[in-house]
Structure 1
Amino acid sequence: MWLAGHLRPGFMVKEPAVVAEGRWDSALGTLCLRACRVLRSGPTSLAVQEEDDCDIGMGFWFPADWTVRDRSIVAGALWNTSHGAAGAVSASSIDFDSNRGNFSDVEYRYTMVDEAKKRYYADVLRGHINKAKGPFPAANFTYHDFEFRFFMDNVTGGSELGEAHPVTIGSAMVYGDQLAADDSFSRHAAADMEDGLLAVSYDIHIRHLPPHVNLMRPNMTSAVAIEERLVTAEGVYDPNTGVLCMIGCQELSGSTTDCQILITVRFSSLDAKAKGHGRGVISSLRARTDPLFFARMDIVLFGMYAEKVSESISRMDMESVMLVISTTLPCVFTALQILHAKRSPEASAATSTTMLVVLALGYVAPLVIGSEALFVSRGTEYTPFQRKVPYKPRQAILRVPTLIAFVLQLRLLHLAWSARRSAADRSKAETAAAAERRALWVCLPLYLLGGALTVALHVSNSRRAAREESLAVRVGPEPATMWEDLASSAGLALDAFLLPQVAMNAFSSGGAARAISPWFYAGGTVVRGMPRVYNAIRARGYAPSMTPSNVYASPRDDRFGVAWDVAVPCGAALLAVLLFLQQRLGGAFLFGSRRSGGYEMVSTQLEH
């Protein structure tokens, strides 16, 4: 079946069509119809043929039994009423998007479970018995844990994605309405285990994408032809090894059906630390010389178990609270610094304006990125846990306190600038300005070098990603934009926000001046260091999925990793300690003596 994106084409007037009417026979459970052919009577109009041509009889019903070969949602027959029931043509429907919700009255008959057991014991179990480590989904888990999505990692001439949905687990029909499926599943639970194996059946949808098209990041501006095929399968699942072994059937062109397909899937354990949901293989059981033989296809599963989803949601709630705290505390610390500056104008004049500008720009970055997201097409918001989805709560959480902190930072910058311009001692003001310029010459090249490296790495990664896009499906977060990469690198400048102040104090020839409130530099250092500590703790207890959903300590805000998590907090703490010593021992205490050019004021009053 060929689809335009996910949209199936509607009624085409060039196709043969009929107009039918009839009745529902409740005794037989059958819809009985009589139909008339429809012909084109003009370029843009249709007309029903003469009544004599209304000789098409139709009957449709809902099958009561399903098998791996026949899972028709609706079955029926068509015949010529003038010839009676002779020459009737059977009809069936397998609708990928069925609107029928409840299939609890349908009974499923397993016909290939014995063959799947033989394959599992003979071929599959030997290769997985030593790999089974950790707990796997058991028979009494939610049926959502048995659903999985996957992509092919060795496909040429395009890419393939797939979804596998359980139809039955044991004797429980879990296809269709979720409420009915949950009730059926909970009532049967693990009662259908036999020899430690659980019989299961699946519907597996596989979509083949043309080259240069990626369904995970679709271009919604143009229609895309996607080939979709359905594989029905049934087999056994071993909760001890987490291995699913099934025999599948695929309807080919015409009336040919290939039921010589072996599907093996190994789920990840519930406590797995690796990314992904597991791996699997789809292979043909036919000889290589058989026309229906196809090459082995390796699949990579992605998704999360229901338990992991619940844990992830709880973690995101906790991280949201931490994010609110971390964005509110800078407002408090900046307000305390403003009070400190008003009480001591001389200290305000000794504050580094470069440091204040860096902090102000740091608050502007998330506001700019949030505004950019407002103009992104809604078509990019196509699946949960992708880049844009976590940004929605983040934007709402960040915007107000970040805007307040930005305004307070501008006020603090205004106080420092005004105090320096209106200083009573012009020599001290000129000395502070000279030290500020020298500190700027130290810091500015570092900032520019960091920005240049970020741009170069972004361009290199973008080119490599563009080459990979045409070769395989990339499942994971969308690559960062230039703005996001720059904002992430700017996080390092914010981590070292005390560097301009420490450099300015070192170049200053004045004595000790408590320009910065301890609340401001100590509190700011703690706020910048906490994401690193949390990221190190999170890495030990949380297995990231292929599409991570970090709200706090996100790579979009800063650089994270083992080396960064150690180096950045240590560097920020070192700057805070240096500033503490400078404000008590003098800015140039590291040089062992005051710089030349400074004068010490002594009393000239004589004692009498």
Structure 2
Amino acid sequence: MVMDSLLSIFFLFTLFSSNLFPTFASQQPSYKDHCASIIPESTPKNPTLKPFPLGEQHKGYFTGGERIIDARTSLNRYTFYLQYMQETHTPGLFKIHGTVSFRSTPNSVYVRGNFSFSTKRSSYGQRHLHRSYLTFKLDGFWSESSGKVCLVGKGSGYSRTGNTLDLDAVFKLQNVFNASNVTSLVSGSLESFSTNSDKDDESYFEPISLLVFPKANYNYTLDSFENEFSSGKFSEQGLSSLNLSDSLSFCSYPLSRELRRLQLEYSHECNSSKNCSPISGGSGPLPSLVSLKGIECSSSTNKHRLRALVTFSNISQYWINQDFNPKTILVGEGWWDEKRNTLCVVACRIIGKESSLAGTQVGDCSVRFTLRFSSIWSIKNTNSLVGQIWSRKVANDPGYFKMITVKNYDDGRVGEFQASKYEYTQLDRVKKSCPTNKNVKNHDRLYPDADSQNMRFDMRVTESKRRVAWGYSSPSSVGGKVKVPSNFVNFISNSSSQTEVPDVPIRTSGSLFNISYKISIYSNYTLRDKNSVFNLSSEDVKISAEGIYDSGTGTLCMIGCRDLPSKTPIAGSVDCEILVKFQFPSLDAKGESYIKGSIESTRKKSDPLYFRSLDLSSAAFYRETAQKAVWRMDMEITMVLTSTTLACIFVGLQLFHVKRNPDLLPFISLMMMSILTLGHMIPLVLNFEALLAQNPNNKNFVFGNVGWLEVNEIAVRIITMVAFLLQFRLLQLTWSSRNADESKKGLWVAERKSAYVTLPLYAAGLLIAVMLLKLKNGSTWENVKSYGGFVLDGFLLPQIVMNLFSNIREINVLSCSFYFGTTFVRLLPHAYDLYRAHNYARLGDAHNYARLGDGSYYYADPSADFYSTSWDIVIPLGGILFAIIIYLQQRFGAHCVLPSRFRGSNVYEKVPVVTESEL
């Protein structure tokens, strides 16, 4: 609807654009040559207040026109805008000025919740965009007595080769009257002035046929068949909580808007379209989906009525090609039966050609359609919407078809209308298949409550120790209470359709709860093994299950029923010989915790419906754990802010130190300065986008939109930027002083010798780390990042080695606050990691890590350094040792840490600086 409104504004804007319609300033085509034989011309008078039967704006469907518009796509619509209408000197004849706009939507493919369009981003894509819209400015007459409209005008379009076209056309409509009913259809055409002999002319186009369902003074007539819906087999009660006391409740979502992808299920006798297809003269596969779209809604104190289109399609055709095909569409009238809480529809066939809409008529009205919201769910029926489609014709009539069951496709579009009750039918089988364990161990452990969000989880699915799929499990009821999907909670709280259910789940005894589940499993590839659960459905398997959950032990055991897909969807085709088990970890479990489960077939191996057992696992991420993780992340960001601020302070103190003693700058290791500078720069480069603003596409769905996290992240990166600039300034001063002082050439020699020692050490260490860690987790990039953090931890090594080669004596090149303080900042994360390992459940598992996202660790990130109990001890000890060595070198000389026989005699001593005042 929003898109249609935007397009309407676009067309109205472009109507007056001289750039788009340069030819409109020229004279309009001759009405006399093309319309006078249909409606004689007459001299117009003043504008009239009489309404046009189709309104100031009306929408319709079109087919054809491939030469000037990409019409072989989906949803080909046209819109007529009436600018103004004038009376003429001929009674009942009116002058019309308006525009007609044609729009086509590109074919699209629906893949697991995402749309991808067939149009490529190329010159072809640009031509396609231009050829998706076509507009004409028209003038002509409407005859009230004959119901005919004939207009002529000019338009601008594009050819298939992308050339701009100036088009002349005549626009015709029939049956435009001031009143209508279900049999009223307005048909017409848009025809080129060029004749068939001018087909080589780019401006020529084949006639475009038009069809409109008129709305003027509509007269409902089909509710006279109301008694046909009151027989026993059609008298089931629907959800009684719908409030239809006013027009808004009925003429709003979802009853008067489009109900898409309603699934069709046929009787067991339907293996072909004979006597089964609701499509007149249908051949080939039976349609599997039906959509109900409201054309117009009318409510009064006596009855709520609806005009609707009923469209049949297949799943393969639903997203790819939705051309207006009269053979697959019914038009009808519906009303809401308040006694049975059911929508009743009487539908009529549309007789016409698939290739052209000319001559389209409404045929017999023998199709009946009911739809209601389920008031009771069970293991074999967990659909929010259910209904039937049947024919009133006799069995030997060509238009007869057997009754079809309708239910909503599992896409959540009507999930807010939940049943008021769930009926358990398999509990006796569950008790036999899953005996309760009376000798319960670990009775002091706490497990998820049956009515908590912790009972919903994703799953990793393996078959014969090979990962084959992923899935999702969600409880549909606990006790007699139907669970409400989380994404509909806000809607229901304000909806009149909210069902009153008990607030407390119904327990069987003690800690035992009756519970039902919806389980969906999706395979990533086709398995041809006959004993695989995906043998009948290569893409997904849907299982409804019910059983008993023991909140005292965390065990869940259920009997499941899976849908059995086939080329023809047959009603009641399910396999209920399935056993489903889950074991939940305790809420207070430490370390990695997983939900473990299995899906087994209880049939014999020789049975065609038998399948091998599936092993299920899911990293348990309970709400309590999530709350702890949020608290942990808050504390980690605080620690990052603190440690980065301290790093800025320590670098600032070193800058102050060298400002007071500028002759010390050449003795600072450039390699050490480079390592520290890169340590601040690389995080800024990798997270530059986050420095400016958070990317909304990277929101973490576990924690949601946590505003304070975003603010603190930006603060961290700003402080990191300050630390980088200070560190870079120190590096620049060191480099400049080394180049400026020619007397310190020996320091360059010491720097090179230091590089000859440290660089091979770093390279060898990197090679060993990559080889060892790759055997563990297989991620080379993560290994490089971790080793980079390890090098930063030992940032003092290049300074120590350079001191040895330069043999400085009693020179405080580095301030104690700098090397001890920076060492403290680098080693603090390892101390925190030891604390974290003993106070938080690890979020390790790749699946859980993906759910949290790479940003779940803000401090002591395992991918940015070596973190384990052993490394958290070894690295701090090494860092402290390096700081002590620097202290000893600066106090007693660089070689003091070496045995006496290795100590050299060449030294660099601090030389007094003579100032100009002393001269």
Equivalent residue for 1:396?
Answer: 714
What amino acid is the match of 1:290? D
* Contact 1:67 1:108 survives alignment (8 Å): yes
What amino acid is the match of 1:169? V
* Contact 2:377 2:383 survives alignment (8 Å): yes
| Larger relative strand fraction | 2
Equivalent residue for 1:143?
Answer: 452
Q: Distance in 2 between matches of 1:47 and 1:461?
A: 70
Equivalent residue for 1:522?
Answer: 820
User: How many residue pairs get matched?
Assistant: 557
Q: Distance in 2 between matches of 1:3 and 1:125?
A: 47
How far did residue 371 of structure 1 move? 4.7
Equivalent residue for 1:569?
Answer: 876
| Larger relative helix fraction | 1
- Residue 426 of structure 2 is aligned to residue 112 of structure 1: yes
Change (3 A) 1:560 1:211: farther
Q: Distance in 1 between matches of 2:735 and 2:859?
A: 34
Which digits, 9 at most, give the CA deviation of each residue in 1:57-103, with x for residues without a partner? 1111112111111122111121223459x986242314322223444
- Residue 524 of structure 2 is aligned to residue 209 of structure 1: yes
Which digits, 9 at most, give the CA deviation of each residue in 1:194-227, with x for residues without a partner? 2531100111111121179xxxxxxxxxxxx972
Q: Distance in 2 between matches of 1:583 and 1:499?
A: 14
The counterpart of 2:830, out of the listed 532, 539, 552, is 532
What amino acid is the match of 1:134? R
How far did residue 21 of structure 1 move? 3.0
The counterpart of 1:19, out of the listed 316, 319, 331, is 331
How far did residue 461 of structure 1 move? 6.4
Equivalent residue for 1:343?
Answer: 660
What amino acid is the match of 2:731? L
How far did residue 408 of structure 1 move? 1.1
How far did residue 239 of structure 1 move? 1.1
Once the two structures are superposed, the pairs formed by residues 119-138 of structure 1 within 5 Å of their partners are 119-121=433-435, 125=437, 129=440, 134-138=445-449
How far did residue 354 of structure 1 move? 1.5
Equivalent residue for 1:218?
Answer: none
- Residue 313 of structure 2 is aligned to residue 4 of structure 1: no
How far did residue 557 of structure 1 move? 1.8
Change (3 A) 1:154 1:362: same
Q: Distance in 1 between matches of 2:580 and 2:908?
A: 85
* Contact 1:143 1:174 survives alignment (8 Å): no
What amino acid is the match of 1:120? C
Which secondary structure does the structure 2 equivalent of 1:317 belong to? helix
* Contact 1:348 1:419 survives alignment (8 Å): yes
Change (3 A) 1:382 1:350: closer
The more displaced of 32-41 and 563-572 is 32-41
Q: Distance in 2 between matches of 1:208 and 1:101?
A: 25
* Contact 1:4 1:226 survives alignment (8 Å): no
Change (3 A) 1:233 1:132: farther
Which digits, 9 at most, give the CA deviation of each residue in 1:315-348, with x for residues without a partner? 1111111122222221221111111100011222
- Residue 608 of structure 2 is aligned to residue 297 of structure 1: no
The counterpart of 1:237, out of the listed 518, 528, 549, is 549
Which secondary structure does the structure 2 equivalent of 1:188 belong to? coil
The counterpart of 1:73, out of the listed 375, 381, 384, is 384
The counterpart of 2:575, out of the listed 236, 247, 258, is 258
Change (3 A) 1:382 1:418: closer
Change (3 A) 1:601 1:393: closer
Q: Distance in 2 between matches of 1:262 and 1:145?
A: 22
Which digits, 9 at most, give the CA deviation of each residue in 1:472-496, with x for residues without a partner? xxxxxxx57x3x5433311111101
The more displaced of 199-208 and 588-597 is 588-597
Change (3 A) 1:521 1:20: farther
* Contact 1:59 1:77 survives alignment (8 Å): yes
What amino acid is the match of 1:567? V
TM-align CA RMSD:
3.7
The counterpart of 1:54, out of the listed 365, 375, 379, is 365
How far did residue 232 of structure 1 move? 0.6
Which digits, 9 at most, give the CA deviation of each residue in 1:9-66, with x for residues without a partner? 53645894433332222332111112233577244x5689643333211111112111
Which digits, 9 at most, give the CA deviation of each residue in 1:385-438, with x for residues without a partner? 79xx99988963543222222221121112223333444xx65x2343333222
* Contact 2:384 2:417 survives alignment (8 Å): no
Q: Distance in 1 between matches of 2:414 and 2:440?
A: 41
Equivalent residue for 1:89?
Answer: 403
Q: Distance in 2 between matches of 1:366 and 1:164?
A: 38
Equivalent residue for 2:629?
Answer: 312
Equivalent residue for 2:275?
Answer: none
Change (3 A) 1:381 1:599: closer
Change (3 A) 1:450 1:91: same
Q: Distance in 2 between matches of 1:366 and 1:383?
A: 20
Equivalent residue for 2:468?
Answer: 159
* Contact 1:495 1:568 survives alignment (8 Å): yes
Which digits, 9 at most, give the CA deviation of each residue in 1:497-555, with x for residues without a partner? 11111112222233211111111111111111011111111111111232342221112
- Residue 513 of structure 2 is aligned to residue 406 of structure 1: no
* Contact 1:204 1:231 survives alignment (8 Å): yes
Equivalent residue for 1:217?
Answer: none
Equivalent residue for 1:269?
Answer: 586
What amino acid is the match of 2:345? L
Q: Distance in 2 between matches of 1:349 and 1:87?
A: 95
Q: Distance in 1 between matches of 2:401 and 2:797?
A: 89
Q: Distance in 1 between matches of 2:731 and 2:604?
A: 78
Equivalent residue for 2:301?
Answer: none
> Structure 1: where are the runs of 5+ without partners?
213-224, 466-478, 603-608
Change (3 A) 1:174 1:248: same
Equivalent residue for 1:502?
Answer: 800
Change (3 A) 1:87 1:438: closer
Equivalent residue for 2:283?
Answer: none
Q: Distance in 1 between matches of 2:419 and 2:910?
A: 98
Which secondary structure does the structure 2 equivalent of 1:269 belong to? coil
Which secondary structure does the structure 2 equivalent of 1:248 belong to? strand
Q: Distance in 2 between matches of 1:533 and 1:185?
A: 53
Q: Distance in 1 between matches of 2:410 and 2:696?
A: 23
Which secondary structure does the structure 2 equivalent of 1:579 belong to? helix
* Contact 1:203 1:232 survives alignment (8 Å): yes
Q: Identity of paired residues, percent?
A: 32
Equivalent residue for 1:222?
Answer: none
* Contact 2:385 2:407 survives alignment (8 Å): yes
Equivalent residue for 2:484?
Answer: 175
With CA pairs under 8 Å and 6+ residues apart, which has the higher RCO, 1 or 2? 1
Change (3 A) 1:383 1:317: closer
Change (3 A) 1:35 1:412: same
Q: Distance in 1 between matches of 2:910 and 2:734?
A: 25
Q: Distance in 2 between matches of 1:157 and 1:585?
A: 63
What amino acid is the match of 1:505? N
Which secondary structure does the structure 2 equivalent of 1:35 belong to? strand
Change (3 A) 1:523 1:294: same
Change (3 A) 1:185 1:417: farther
Task: Work out which of the two has the higher radius of gyration on C-alpha atoms and give 1 or 2.
Answer: 2
Q: Distance in 2 between matches of 1:185 and 1:436?
A: 79
What amino acid is the match of 1:491? G
* Contact 2:350 2:362 survives alignment (8 Å): no
* Contact 1:132 1:240 survives alignment (8 Å): yes
- Residue 360 of structure 2 is aligned to residue 360 of structure 1: no
* Contact 1:261 1:282 survives alignment (8 Å): yes
